[in-house]
Structure 1
């Protein structure tokens, strides 16, 4: 269920105080008694007889829903599934608020360093570029996250970068009084808002939430990173808490106040 608190987007535009830097920060399908009916016990639209990713008949959610075999065949397939769902979610939020929503002009994968309107796209990275309203991601970086941490790791990276796109549309990224760490933690919170909605719609599989927490733990800043560092994203604890705030409390929890 999409959470839609009153004036939620206007709340996001409020300035954050320095105290906010310490922000705290489906079940499996049942068997059908009629054996003549084709089974789809993980409810991904692929009958069990040809589903190569049924996870022992547990609900595998959207991230295992390739139309041919029930699995994302490639990292590109997984990324596309995530892109479509995150985009649709935020488009719905903006439509509800009667605000204009602009999807990214480009959603571009790269495997070698490339030039963008925001400078060189580095390897092992993903980022939103406000100069051309686009999201860029190193496909091998997401592939490594998939292989080492599970399918929700790369999905969460995409959701985080989409959080920056949302901030741009709301004018938050134009506020030069905000520190990088503030907008980064808010992007984690916004990713949590989307993830909770995806879970409520039955798209999350068992273990996805934990994979997201692991991904955030791995990319958190060292504890001695100054909060005013222009590259600061937040410690592992801050990033996990920000994501969990969005998951538990919705958009209100992401407001900068």
Structure 2
């Protein structure tokens, strides 16, 4: 029932608009005819003066337009204009909201990158400071720090000098023998409890003699088995 009433009201409104448009067309044509008549009469009189007063009076007696109180055309135009502006405003707001979200996402992304970069810079600074402190001879280091520095220096010595000289002197330049020497030295540096003196013989006896002469290893003999274990000195020990 309500739907039928709404449709009836809409039909009446549309019909009213059609009548108003037709009336305006009619009155517009009447106005054009009246103006043309004034022009024609002036030409016939061949006068250069203004239009005769009597002609003006007759012209003004004719009603050219009867405005509706409700003005359905004006209301319709205003309603259409408001709907269009409302639609375009909503679209503009939605576009601004999307741009705002994208801007926030970009801002958050670059903030995270900036934070990561700052953290990386701080880590690099700490590492540089740490390395600088390790190289400072006047700096008082803890035993663990000294041990770390000595082990690193020993590792460099073995990798860059001892293993190369040893392989060269014994004509053991093959890649296989090089790996075996490095593995043996790595076990020594990492305090492998299973490393034996016998592991150095006969191929690496010169290396064992070199380590013994430099006094950087201990040889510990087990009473039960008679096996001799070789161990790198603990540079962090207070007994050194």
Q: Could you tell me the TM-score, scaled by structure 2's length?
A: 0.22
Q: Which structure is higher in RCO with an 8 Å CA cutoff and minimum separation 6?
A: 1
Question: What's the TM-score once normalised by structure 1's chain length?
Answer: 0.21
Higher normalized helix content (fraction of residues) = 2
